[in-house]
Amino acid sequence: MTQTLADLAIGTEWTELVAAQPALGGADAILQNVGYTPIALVFGGDDAPTGKSGYILGYLDSFPGIATKIWARGVSGTGKLSATVQS
């Protein structure tokens, strides 16, 4: 079954997405940047990443992955992600 989590708000500080959206935890997910602000993503890690870590998603870029923790932050402002989750 596929579930879409649309318009997840992303701030400029590292946010752990699974805490806010438990359906993402350990699931096969595709995250897509649906806002114009670049989004940094890090799959895994118990603590927030430091510095300029992460894979950068530009507008409409997507990234697949599976993790029990997914960290995201807006690079130059707030942004939005959409997640498609296979369960």
- Closest C-alpha to 13, from 80, 83, 61, 75: 75
Tens of pLDDT, residue by residue over 24-66, are 999 999 999 999 999 999 999 999 998 778 999 999 999 999 9
Mean pLDDT of the residues in the chain: 94
First to last CA, the chain: 5
**pTM as predicted:** 0.92
Distance CA(19)–CA(71), nearest Å, equals 10
Q: Please give the CATH architecture assigned to the domain spanning 2-86.
A: Sandwich (2.60)
What is the per-residue pLDDT for 85? Answer: 95
